[in-house]
């Protein structure tokens, strides 16, 4: 399965939508490295996992900066989701080096991405609509 920003995931706020595309590209790269682990090796998988972790931190930070700037009323809820999401992602990705690329790891990553998609469809779309009234 390939992840992409489909019309139902567009928030209408350029920075957020652009970063969501890059986030899904990072997820796809990680999942591709699972599929091709014999060809690409552990190094590429580790690089993809590290990039994804760093990019999630960066993207959530950008979203929260904008929320604070415009005093978004749902900031606390959004922030709590981000913190828990990052914690769980790191937990999943930290198991990969010792366990190797497994169906279980891929499944956990896919479930985690679906949580992100649900978050985008609800919270981020509300945020995008709010931000469009501010800028």
* CATH number, residue 77: 1.20.120.50
**pLDDT for 40:** 58
**pLDDT for 56:** 94
Domain assignment present for residue 2? The answer is no
> H helices of 10-134, where?
14-35, 37-69, 75-99, 103-119, 125-134
**pLDDT for 98:** 72
Domain assignment present for residue 130? The answer is yes
Domain assignment present for residue 1? The answer is no
Domain assignment present for residue 27? The answer is yes
Give the Cβ contact number of residue 120 at 10 Å.
22
pTM for the whole thing?
0.89
Both tokens assigned to 52: 């994804």
Domain that holds residue 82: 7-134
Domain assignment present for residue 76? The answer is yes
Domain assignment present for residue 104? The answer is yes
Q: Note down pLDDT in tens along the chain; length 135 residues.
A: 789 999 999 999 999 999 999 999 999 988 888 776 565 566 777 888 888 899 999 999 999 999 999 999 999 999 999 999 999 999 988 887 777 677 888 888 889 999 999 999 999 999 999 999 987
Domain assignment present for residue 79? The answer is yes
Number of domains in the chain: 1
Max alpha carbon distance in the chain (Å)?
Answer: 49
Backbone angles phi, psi at 32, to 5 degrees: -60, -40
């Amino acid at each position: 399965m390939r992840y992409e920003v489909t019309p139902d995931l567009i928030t209408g706020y350029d920075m957020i939508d652009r970063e969501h595309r890059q986030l899904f590209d990072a997820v796809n790269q990680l999942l591709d490295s699972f599929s091709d682990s014999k060809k690409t090796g552990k190094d590429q998988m580790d690089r993809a996992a590290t990039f994804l972790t760093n990019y999630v931190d960066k993207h959530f930070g950008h979203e929260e900066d904008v929320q604070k700037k415009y005093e978004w009323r749902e900031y606390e809820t959004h922030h709590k989701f981000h913190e828990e999401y990052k914690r769980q992602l790191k937990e999943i990705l930290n198991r990969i080096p010792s366990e190797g690329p497994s169906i279980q790891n891929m499944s956990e990553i896919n479930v985690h991405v679906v949580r992100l998609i649900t978050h985008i469809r609800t919270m981020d779309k509300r945020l995008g609509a709010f931000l469009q009234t501010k800028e």
